[in-house]
Chains A and B, each alone.
Chain A
Amino acid sequence: MPDPYSLRVNGVDCEVADSDIAESLLFVLRERLGLTGTKNACTEGECSSCAVLIDGVLTCSCLVLSATAAGQDITTVEGLGDGRDGLSVVQEAFVDEGAVQCGFCTPGLIVAVHDLLEANADPSDGDVREALSGNLCRCTGYGRILAAVNTAAEAKRSQP
């Protein structure tokens, strides 16, 4: 058992005690901290539905041993809303463009698109597709998701 440790999630310090050594950050976020927005679709790094930002770096939380993330700044989908109605421009675009169906891949995509647009304000279609090539979605065929990324990018660029 690891010593108790603290995770800083969405700006809040959260104590983790009595955990098993083998617990992933995904498991701890979901089952110990109640942050179930981060999703558990494959737990093998093949779908990105568990994507979070760790010190600003897009990461599959299923592949992070939780105790090793102590002291790092973790941002989950729950920590991304900022604008109108608590939605970020990315979240708003996903709602408006019909990019959500079952919604299981959505949180990971929201995090990944935030990451993409931070790094590249005006990505080409190829850039978007490559950046999101790890975010599996089984419902949409990606068409509305790509439309939402374009909409979000435009909205972000037009922000003051």
Chain B
Amino acid sequence: MSDVVVARSLDEARGALADHPDATVLAGGTDLMVEINRGLRRPSHVVGVAQVPELRLWSVADDRVTVGGGVTYTEMMTTPLADAAPALAQAARTVGSPPIRNAGTLGGNLGTASPAGDTLPVLAALNAQIVVVGPDGERRMALDDFVVGVKRTSLRPGELIVRAEMDRPTGRQEFLKIGPRNAMVISMAGLALVADHDARAVRCALGAVAAGIPRARDAEAWVAERIDWDNGAGVDDAVAAEFGQRVAAASAPIDDHRSTAAYRRHAIAVLATRALKRAFAQGGSSDA
């Protein structure tokens, strides 16, 4: 095979990967090409998957949203996905700039597996299953089992990220992210929160404040008992504030050149408080 294969079908991509299990899988290029341009990564073989039609599929069902690994951020914002998974659209809109959003994909965000990957808290909060395909067939796993460390995944050689399947709960969804300016930022702290009225559950996951993408499960359980699910009343300020503190307890941030652990923990508390209040505010709807 040539050193560079632009796969036009999933089979072609799988075939190329079977030939060269060590090949670099290139989707939108928004992460990998930065490393290649800096000389930090020198691939021997590349399999381009941006033009694999099967990976660009998405679908919306009553209770389920499926997003192919090759779906771009722009598509998450501009197709009916934006209504079906509003937090995903909100997160997509915070990724880089318009040309980055045109190129970058859900599969790429998953494959890079950065704690600051903007869609990852959304996937966690929506109980996403990540579906991969490889020489041994298809595997599916929860996000927690897919992202196993900072920029580390459980993807095996020769495997491709095919799609993510996520819940479509009945309540509102919120994604909030802090950066050092008002656009085009890497997350200093991010948070996704979804309200699931059928399950009477709140799910909340955090970005850029831990080695992985933690779910604030204790806080979720605590607050679910304090929501007035039957009457749809708003959330009490004190409950929201305490929820914020409890969510922050699920973070394990560090000091780095982008921010401090203390600020990140504080910010998560504020973001969680605001997200909860928005999710249960009377009137209005989730916007992108």
Contacts and interface: CB of A to CB of B under 8 A. Distances in A.
Interface stretch (B24-32, B125-133, B140-148): B24-32
A10 interface: no
Interface string A90-117: 0000000000000000000000100100
Contact of B4 (A21, A24, A43, A44): A21
A63 B184 contact: no
A48 B37 contact: no
B102 A65 contact: no
A2 B184 CA distance: 33
A134 to B, nearest CB: 2
A64 B29 contact: yes
Interface residues of B, number: 28
A57 B26 contact: no
B98 interface: yes
Chain A interface category by residue count:
20 to 34
A158 B127 CA distance: 50
Interface stretch (B40-48, B161-169, B256-264): B40-48
A133 B30 contact: no
B99 A68 contact: no
Given A2-B3, A68-B48, A134-B184, A62 B98 contact: no
Nearest to B37: A43
A59 B37 CA distance: 16
A68 B49 CA distance: 9
B100 A45 contact: yes
B99 A134 contact: yes
Contacts of B103: 59-60, 63-64
Given A22-B36, A22-B43, A44-B37, A63 B28 contact: yes
B33 A64 contact: yes
Interface of B: 2-4, 6, 26, 28-30, 33-34, 36-38, 42-44, 46, 48, 50, 96-100, 102-103, 183-184
Given A46-B96, A48-B99, A63-B103, 9 more contacts: A21-B3, A45-B34, A45-B100, A46-B97, A48-B97, A58-B99, A64-B33, A68-B48, A134-B96
